[in-house]
Structure 1
Amino acid sequence: MGRRVLGLVIDWAIAMAISWLITRHYGGWTVYPVFAALQILAIWALGGSIGHRIAGLRLSALPGSQPALWRPVVRSVLLMIVIPALVWDSDHRGFHDKIAGTVLVRA
């Protein structure tokens, strides 16, 4: 759980920095679309967000292949709602991962 939180904090900090470069103030609603875009692009291209990769994690589709573009989109939209990320099963897979058909594993 610690690696996941670390990855999330790193991703959020990057999104806040980019949002600040765009709007010149911290916070606000611009952080959310920047965060979602970073999640979608990095997961699709790198197999995990920048924070995931720094924390030693990667995201994989359940069959073991690289996630298709729709998986990170669904996962990111659900992550933005927050509540699905707070609900997880005995394998520590969040509800957002279960619906997207993904699993976060150590790299």
Structure 2
Amino acid sequence: MGRITGSWLSGPQAALEDGADVGDYRGEKLGLPESGPGALASSWHRCLGLLVDWLMCGGVSLLFVQDLQSSSLSTVVLGVWFIVGVGTVTTFGFTPGQFLTGMRVARVDGGERVGFVRALIRQALIVFLVPPLINDHDGRGMHDRATGTALIRTR
């Protein structure tokens, strides 16, 4: 029991086998560069991209609801954000906010496109908010690990 709670309380590195190599930088084990285009996006870039997406979807939602005091506004914003996220990641590999902040979603297995199923599952896990907050030693959230994706920098 101590091993289980110890690894949980000590962070993701504590669960690794003794002597296991985590790499010199985030993304090294995935074959990604340390910095620049193709490197893993930082948490700040990811949060900024999410904020941009959320604000844009809020503006679009106001076209449907037309009342800031409406009790359904937050539900409509979430629905628009979900649909935009799944649609744009499936089609282009990034959301509008990720594009503006210089990021895109990539498959870690080297596949060309993320695809509809991965984009749908990834977006559904982000809705719950907890999976993106729990990161592994590479800095990828649970939603990215579950779908075999990573958010990488484009510039």
Mapped to 1, the partners of 2:140 and 2:67 lie a distance apart of 34
Give 5+ residue unaligned stretches, structure 2: 1-42
Larger radius of gyration: 2
Report runs of 4+ in structure 1 exceeding 3 Å deviation: none
Residue correspondence of structure 1 range 13-32 to structure 2 within 5 A? 13-26=55-68, 27-32=73-78
Instruction: Give 5+ residue unaligned stretches, structure 1.
Output: none
More helix by percentage: 1
Q: Cα RMSD between the aligned structures?
A: 1.0
Distance in 1 between residues matched to 2:139 and 2:95, nearest whole Å: 18
Aligned pairs, number? 107
CA distance in 1, matches of 2:133, 2:66: 31
1:4 aligns with 2:51: no
User: Counterpart in 2 of 1:99?
Assistant: 146
**2:86 maps to 1:44:** no
Aligned to 2:81: 35
Normalised to the residue count of structure 1, the TM-score between the two structures is: 0.94
Task: Give the equivalent residue in structure 2 for 1:74.
Answer: 121
1:69-101 CA-to-partner distances (Å, cap 9, x unmatched) read 101100000000111111111111011111111
Shift of 1:28: 2.1
TM-score w.r.t. the length of structure 2 is 0.66
